[in-house]
Amino acid sequence: MDSLSINSLLEDLKNPDVAIREQATKKLWRIWFQQKGIYGLERIDQSQKLLDAGEMNEAETMLTELIKDQPDFAEAWNRRAFLYYSMGNYQKSLADCQMVIQINPVHFGALHGMGLCYAALGRYGNAIKAFKRALDIQPYSLVNQKLILECTLRLS
């Protein structure tokens, strides 16, 4: 998909109509997951099945191999960041989220993940910045608005 279409979807995330925003969100996620075609999509799907089965090490190995094979596949980094977050390894998750943002600066999921990692590490100022960056892309995200408030309360 070309950048014009992606820019249009990003604009739709700012639309007051919830249906338009939800549709744009789904389309962006689909684009990100399908960035590397069937191969990448199947590997991510397999890693998710391993994660769901509680086979964390196997899922990590699969995602790490995918990242080595396709280092510019932002969603592979993002899925591994989610895995690390699920394991409570916030530093590793944060590092992977930062890689996602280097590859895809408008990846609101990774920005949200960065905020969650910073909050889990007690770095509430950094968490607020990450959630605000996510809100710049998805201004109607109630979860990020709520997390900003929670982090602000923890700072005071």
Residue spans of the domains in the chain: they are 106-156
Sequence-distant (6+) residues with CB within 8 A of 60 are: 80, 83, 84
Sequence-distant (6+) residues with CB within 8 A of 95 are: none
The structure tokens listed for 19 are 């249906």
Chain centroid to CA 78 = 5
Determine the Cα–Cα distance for residues 41 and 33; give it in Å rounded to an integer: 6
Give the pLDDT confidence score for residue 2 in this predicted structure: 64
Give the pLDDT confidence score for residue 26 in this predicted structure: 97
Determine the Cα–Cα distance for residues 19 and 145; give it in Å rounded to an integer: 19
Neighbours of 115 (CB within 10 A): 29
Length of the chain counted residue by residue: 156
CATH superfamily of 106-156: Tetratricopeptide repeat domain (1.25.40.10)
Determine the Cα–Cα distance for residues 42 and 40; give it in Å rounded to an integer: 5
What is the DSSP code (8-state) at residue 11?
H
Determine the Cα–Cα distance for residues 112 and 124; give it in Å rounded to an integer: 13
Which portions of the chain are predicted below pLDDT 50?
none
Give the pLDDT confidence score for residue 28 in this predicted structure: 97
Give the pLDDT confidence score for residue 156 in this predicted structure: 79
Give the pLDDT confidence score for residue 3 in this predicted structure: 72
